[in-house]
């Protein structure tokens, strides 16, 4: 699969570690930065990655900031994006199985690198359970988006 990865200044080191790990799982990773610890604005990176996912240029997106929250909030403003913040592997699996999330976020100041790898692996290996009540609820989320 093709994965975009983006982060702010809180996470370049963890980003490189996660990028390498995702590649070791056999996926292609597109890194759109930042690669620096110099202060930057996470909405720019969250939006850019989200637009690539929404346009179908990549299959999934991985976002990292200090908490994972700010960058996920920005990504979720892009139509068609369902990004969940995860600090555990069960949530990472369930946001794929139930919410058909197309992006995942986590915090470099919250989770260690080994847990972050397990979180990403759980997300990438899980599949949407499809149809039924889960699809109904996703359609309801899209309907909210379409009211804006
Ligand atoms: C940057 O200092 C920090 O606010 C950011 O990485 C993130 O945690 C925001 O949600």
Handedness of CA 138, 28, 114, 61 (dihedral sign): negative
Residue of 116, 107, 131, 103 lying closest to 46 (CA atoms): 103
For the entire predicted model, the pTM comes to 0.98
d(CA 59, CA 124): 10
130: left (phi over 0), alpha (psi -120 to 50) or beta: left
Residue whose pair of structure tokens reads 């600090």 in the numeric block = 87
For ligand 1, atom 5, name the residue with the nearest CA: 66
For ligand 1, atom 1, name the residue with the nearest CA: 66
Catalytic residue among 65, 83, 86, 134: 65
Domains of the chain: 2-147 (3.40.1400.10)
pLDDT tens-digit series, residues 102-136 = 999 999 999 999 999 999 999 999 999 988 999 99
pLDDT tens-digit series, residues 30-89 = 999 999 999 999 999 999 999 999 999 999 999 999 999 999 999 999 999 999 999 999
Active site residue 134: no
């Amino acid at each position: 699969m093709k994965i975009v990865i983006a982060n702010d200044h809180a996470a370049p080191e963890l980003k490189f570690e996660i990028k390498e790990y995702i590649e070791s799982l056999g996926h292609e990773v597109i890194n759109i930065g930042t690669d620096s610890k110099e202060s930057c604005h996470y909405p720019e990176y969250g939006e850019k990655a989200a637009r690539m996912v929404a346009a179908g240029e990549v299959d999934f997106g991985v976002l990292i900031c200090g908490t994972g929250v700010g960058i996920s909030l920005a990504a979720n403003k892009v139509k068609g994006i369902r990004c969940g913040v995860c600090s555990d592997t069960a949530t990472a699996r369930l946001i794929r199985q139930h919410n058909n999330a197309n992006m995942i976020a986590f915090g470099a100041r919250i989770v260690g690198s080994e847990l972050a790898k397990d979180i990403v692996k759980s997300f990438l290996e899980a599949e949407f359970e499809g149809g039924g009540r889960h699809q109904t609820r996703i359609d309801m989320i899209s309907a909210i988006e379409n009211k804006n």
